[in-house]
Structure 1
């Protein structure tokens, strides 16, 4: 389901850039590798639940905020 990866990638990128953070800064704040963050934002892979939680804490949002997916019909 590529639309799920795209929705997560877009949400992650928007929240990161609103904080004026580079991928490296988000990596430093979350403990998630900068390589992984880049792959998430390029839709090359999906994060596990632990990574979603770490990213949400660093970005001061909930995991649900990062995982707001489009409606399915």
Structure 2
């Protein structure tokens, strides 16, 4: 997920903090950020909720950038 790291950094969250808030391991989050794994729908929704964006924004479907 290309946008995940951008949104996390924009919100000033560490990888560990975001992983804790979403309920996943730090390594799992790192795999999502690297694109090694894709989160399921439930995790995508949790990530978007914590990062204060929509799932579509997080997935890069609408072309927006963090803070835009």
TM-score tier, shorter chain, comes to 0.7 to 0.9
4+ residue segments displaced more than 2 Å: none
Match of 1:17 among 6, 9, 30: 9
Gaps of 5+ in 1: 1-7
Larger Rg, first or second structure (1 or 2): 1
TM-score by length of 2: 0.80
TM-score by length of 1: 0.75
Is the counterpart of residue 26 in structure 1 residue 51 in structure 2?
no
Q: Distance in 1 between matches of 2:46 and 2:21?
A: 9
- CA displacement at 1:69 relative to structure 2: 4.1
Q: Is the 8 A contact 1:32 1:54 kept in 2?
A: no
* Aligned residue pair count: 62
Q: What do you get for the CA RMSD once the two structures are aligned?
A: 1.5
Q: Distance in 2 between matches of 1:15 and 1:27?
A: 13
Q: Distance in 1 between matches of 2:60 and 2:13?
A: 21
Is the counterpart of residue 52 in structure 1 residue 31 in structure 2?
no
